Amino acid sequence: MGMTEDLNNWTHEQKCRKAVASLEKNGFTARYCAAPQDAAEYIITGAADAVTVGFGGSMSVVSLGVEQLLREQGKEILNHAPSTLSRDEKLEIMRRQLTCDLFLSGSNAVTLNGELVNIDATGNRVGAMLFGPRKVIVVAGRNKLVDGTLPDAIKRVKEWATPPNAKRLNFKTPCSSTGFCSDCNSPDRLCRVTAVIDRKPRFTDLHVLVVNAELGF
């Protein structure tokens, strides 16, 4: 690693640690992870007592490779992502995620003030983050950090997270073709539910892992 990369990594670390401190001040259990492997190990340890583990469709979580490890441990995996599932099967899994033992998700944005900002098409992901599962672990790469206001965080989601997600999911939205948000009214519009978690929900054991790496969108 050269000097420039070292210094850039150091700068990112300071921002990650500031986000962690702010999250802790806001009541979340927060952890700085120097590398994705650290986040993966935290999740595996945190899943020790879980029987059912829900996946919220996060590419950040997918990149950690924990799903197969959890399967090998005998956990029941609740993942609605496989294309082989019917619409009804997907909906049933989404509903079961709301009461699973451990729910794993990313966050579209995390402000340095310690707020989680997410935009959903259906609301199942943010619903499970707020209340229901016995434990929630949110993974956020350094690219999700926003040094600014809540409108800045929402802008980050619509400009950098939604277009690639729409393209990935083959949704017929303007942004999936242009790469730019046009605040559309498309039937396939993803931006339907905006949730800001500015303090840890009272009855949710919510953990946030801030990783010094680029993860997801």
Question: What's the CA gap between 99 and 115, in Å, rounded?
Answer: 24
pLDDT at position 188: 97
pLDDT at position 75: 98
Enumerate residues 6+ apart whose C-beta is below 8 A from 150: 111, 115, 117, 196
pLDDT at position 2: 84
Tokens 């029941």: give the residue.
Answer: 76
Question: What's the CA gap between 154 and 195, in Å, rounded?
Answer: 10
Domains of the chain: 3-211 (3.40.50.10420)
Q: Work out the percent of the chain whose per-residue pLDDT is above 70.
A: 100
* Residue 207, both tokens: 């953990």
In the chain, how many H helices and how many E strands? 9, 10
Query: pLDDT tens digits for 93-119?
Result: 999 999 999 999 999 999 999 999 999
For residue 69, report the phi and psi dihedrals to the nearest 5 degrees.
Answer: -60, -40
**Residue 215: closest CA among 86, 105, 80:** 105
Tokens 């690639």: give the residue.
Answer: 164
Task: Give the residues of the chain that fall short of pLDDT 50.
Answer: none
pLDDT at position 48: 98
pLDDT at position 47: 98
Query: pLDDT tens digits for 29-64?
Result: 999 999 999 999 999 999 999 999 999 999 999 999
**Residue 212: closest CA among 9, 66, 18:** 9
DSSP collapsed to 3 states, 37-97: HHHHHHHHHHCCCCCEEEECCCHHHHCCCHHHHHHHCCCEEEECCCCCCCHHHHHHHHHHH
Question: What's the CA gap between 110 and 156, in Å, rounded?
Answer: 10
